[in-house]
Amino acid sequence: NAGVTQTPKFQVLKTGQSMTLQCAQDMNHNSMYWYRQDPGMGLRLIYYSASEGTTDKGEVPNGYNVSRLNKREFSLRLESAAPSQTSVYFCASRPDHGKEKLFFGSGTQLSVL
Amino acid sequence: SQQGEEDPQALSIQEGENATMNCSYKTSINNLQWYRQNSGRGLVHLILIRSNEREKHSGRLRVTLDTSKKSSSLLITASRAADTASYFCAPMNSGYSTLTFGKGTMLLVSP
C-alpha cells in the first residue's frame, strides 16, 4: 500500500518556467490537499478538493492552479514560477471531507532561481 | 479553520527524559490532533483527542486537553533519539474540514 505518492521529489526551475506537481493516493480517499512549508512558517494550505470534480482555495492560492483529475490524482500547477514559490510542497488526503486524520506524501522540494 | 500555536519552539533533552510540548488555540473545537514530522518527510498522524475527552494515551504518548483554557499538551515519556522530529498540533473546529498547522515544536533527543 503506497499511500500518498508525490512526484517529483526535487525540482529546480528558473523564474517564469511552468511545472506541475503530481500527487496520487491509492486509499480511495475523497478529499485531497496541497500545502506548502517554508522555514519558520509552518504548513499553509494552498488548495483542497473535497471530492472528485471540486476544488477550493486555501490560505495561499495565488500563483497556483489545481486539477482533480480523478479520485486518485490531484495536481498542482505553477504557471509562471517565482522565487517566492521556493518551498517544500506536501500533498495530503483524507477519507471524507470532515473526517479527521490526514495522510501526507513525502513532499516535493522546489527551488525557483 | 484555526491554527494552533505550539510552545516551546524548540526543546532539547537527553534520551530517557520526558518531553512535554504545548498547544494553544483560540476558538472552540471538535477535536485536536497531533502530528510528527521527521526531517525531510511528510507529517504523520500521532493521536486525536476529542473535545469531550480530557486525556488520551497511545504507547509512550499522552495527550491532555483543557477546553476551558483552550490548550493541549503532548507528553512523550522515556524519549528516544528516534523521537527527534518536529511536532505539530492541529485544532479542528466543528463544521470546518481543513486542518491548519502552526510552526511546530522542534524536539531534539540526544543519546
pLDDT tens track of chain B, all 111 residues?
678 899 999 999 999 999 999 999 998 888 999 999 999 899 999 999 999 999 999 999 999 999 999 999 999 999 999 999 999 999 988 766 688 888 999 999 999
Of A41, A101, A105, the CB nearest to B42: A105
Q: Is the dihedral of CA B92, B93, B95, B98 positive or negative?
A: negative
Q: Is the dihedral of CA B109, B11, B36, A10 positive or negative?
A: negative
Nearest residue in chain A measured CA to CA from B106: A40
Helix (H, G, I), strand (E, B) or coil at A88: strand
pLDDT in tens, A28-59: 999 999 999 998 778 999 999 988 889 999 99
Which pLDDT score is estimated for B84? Answer: 97
Residue with cell 484555526: B2
Residues of B with CB under 8 A from a CB of A: 1, 3, 31, 33, 35, 40-45, 48, 88, 92, 97-104
Q: Cα-Cα-Cα-Cα dihedral of A104, A80, A84, A9, to 10°? A: 30
Q: What is the rounded average pLDDT for all residues in chain A?
A: 93
Bridge partner residues of A45 (DSSP) = A35
